[in-house]
Amino acid sequence: MTLEQFKNSQIPVVEIFKSISGEGISQGEVVTFIRTAGCNLRCSYCDTTYSYDECNKDNEYLTADKIVERLEELGCKSIICTGGEPLETGKAKRYIPLYLAIKGFKVRIETNGSCPVYSDEEIAAFLGENSKVSNNKLNLENLPIFYALDIKCPGSGMAHKNLFEENFKLLRSGDEIKFVVGGEEDINYALETIEQYKDVFSSKEVVIDFSPVFGKIDPKKLVEMLVEKDSYFTDNNIKVRLSLQIHKFIWNPETRGV
């Protein structure tokens, strides 16, 4: 898809709202969310099933420039692109985060880990002759795009969809990996994955979040694990943290738009 084709596309948008970030590195910061519709996965614990359907009558269909206009009206330059799956391939919505970064927003993408993140080659192909601004080539190093990349554990029912090497090689400092865990099997899977890719996580200086499935596992179990494994993480220069979804403690867990 070219930039011009993208700008003429109608993007299915579930909601745009300003609040605080509920989880991850940006937790507690004021951000604006844009949630696009459609997802290629069906995780067992999904709390945004209302975003599955691209044709939902409640969706808005907006051009990229209209989305930029809406975001500018809200007055916050920190954006979280979420879904659904914002990086779903073959869809115009995939390029919303990239377009927002070009427009001067700082963008964090919450992605389910089954779709490829951007590469320099994809960015160049999308932008074409527009790939340079003030003689500087736009690429992964100078665009304010960061990832909160899920690694699906067995409890999600979607672990077979993970893209590991393809995505890990494109991560950088400021990105985060998220394991959403619902029980012992998921904890063990997460630890085995970290062991397998510990050199990548260390060298890329990514942060690893352990996030409990809300209402399914006692967060204390994750605290106990993190304390027990502290020396392992420290010795391997791996940054780990517990990430609770604080918006579910502030508001009713079913509340939308917060």
3-state secondary structure 106-144: EEEEEECCCCCCCCHHHHHHHHHHHCEECCEECCCCCCC
pLDDT tens-digit map of 26-47 = 999 999 999 999 999 999 999 9
Three-state helix/strand/coil letters over 82-98: ECCCCCCCCCHHHHHHH
Spell out the alpha helix ranges (H) of the chain. 3-7, 64-74, 96-102, 120-127, 165-168, 184-196, 198-204, 219-228, 230-235, 247-250
Q: How far is CA 9 from CA 6, 129, 170, 183, in A?
A: 5, 20, 27, 42
170 in a domain, yes or no? yes
CB 36 within 8 A of CB 86: yes
Query: What is the separation of C-alpha 53 from the centre of its chain, rounded to a whole number of angstroms?
Result: 19
| 101 residue type, one letter | A
**pTM metric for this prediction:** 0.94
Known binding residue 111? Answer is no
pLDDT of residue 18: 98
Q: How confident is the prediction for the chain on average, in pLDDT?
A: 94
Q: Does the annotation flag 48 for ligand binding?
A: yes
Q: Dump pLDDT digits (tens) for 162-181.
A: 999 999 999 999 999 999 99
Residues 6+ apart with CB under 8 A from 220: none
Task: For residue 51, give the DSSP letter.
Answer: G
pLDDT value, residue 136:
57
CA pair distance 54, 59, nearest whole angstrom: 7
Question: Does 255 reside within a domain?
Answer: no
193 in a known ligand binding site: no
Asked, for residue 9, whether it belongs to a domain, the answer is: yes
User: Which range among 5-9, 56-60, 132-136 shows the weakest confidence by mean pLDDT?
Assistant: 132-136
Q: Is 45 labelled a binding residue?
A: yes
pLDDT at 243: 96
Domain count for the chain, please give it.
1
For residue 71, pLDDT over 90 is answered with yes
The answer to whether residue 96 is domain-embedded is yes
Tell me, yes or no, whether 258 lies in a domain.
Answer: no
Amino acid making up residue 40: N
Per the structure, the complete domain to which residue 160 belongs is given by 3-250
In a domain, 182, yes or no: yes
The answer to the question of whether 114 is labelled as a binding residue is no
User: Residue 45: is it exposed, middle or buried by C-beta count within 10 angstroms (0-12/13-18/19+)?
Assistant: middle
Is position 15 within any domain?
yes
Residue 84 is assigned to a ligand binding site = yes
**For the domain that residue 9 is a member of, what is the CATH number?**
3.20.20.70
**Does the annotation flag 22 for ligand binding?**
yes
Contacts of 205 (CB under 8 A, 6+ apart): 172, 173, 239
Would 112 be classed as within a structural domain?
A: yes
Per-residue pLDDT tens over the stretch 193-251: 999 999 999 999 999 999 999 999 999 999 999 999 999 999 999 999 999 999 999 99
